[in-house]
Amino acid sequence: MIAPSLVLKEILIDEGVFAEHTGSWPLFVSSLPDMDNAGVLYDTAGTAVNRDLTTGEYAFAHGFQLKVQAGDYSEGYSKACTALQYLESVKWKEVVIDKETILINSVTLTSPILFIGHSQDKRRLNMFTLNGLVRFL
């Protein structure tokens, strides 16, 4: 299985919400370089949503967090809003990564956009997060 954060990164870049590492508003997974106007996805705790009684296998909703940092508060909040609106619309989306086809059943947001403060460096970048669950079939 491919990490949920990698799947979400793929669709957020494909839809133009974020860009590859060299573009405007790049998106990363698991770590964020020291740069303005960027996003990062983390895999977080999910939840079991049901269990197949014949096989005993669990189906999970996988947790994720998207963090956005920006020099300008309004610009950062706006980017987080764009990402939130797109993620809310994702249903039955097929993604191909490394020749593996993944079907996203749904994305459910578990928090609104949260302002979590400023970066600790001298630039004091504005940081926002949103959290959610993604289900695959």
In tens, the pLDDT along 17-34 reads 999 987 789 999 999 888
Q: Which CATH number fits domain 4-136: 3.30.1330.40, 3.90.180.10, 3.30.565.10, 3.30.2000.10?
A: 3.30.2000.10
pLDDT digits (tens, 9 = 90+) for 104-118: 999 999 999 999 998
**What's the pLDDT at 42?**
97
Confidence of residue 137 (pLDDT cuts 50, 70, 90): confident
Confidence of residue 121 (pLDDT cuts 50, 70, 90): confident
52 pLDDT higher than 90: no
Burial of 110 (0-12, 13-18, 19+ CB in 10 A): middle
Burial of 103 (0-12, 13-18, 19+ CB in 10 A): exposed
pLDDT digits (tens, 9 = 90+) for 80-97: 999 999 999 999 999 988
Three-state DSSP class for 74?
helix
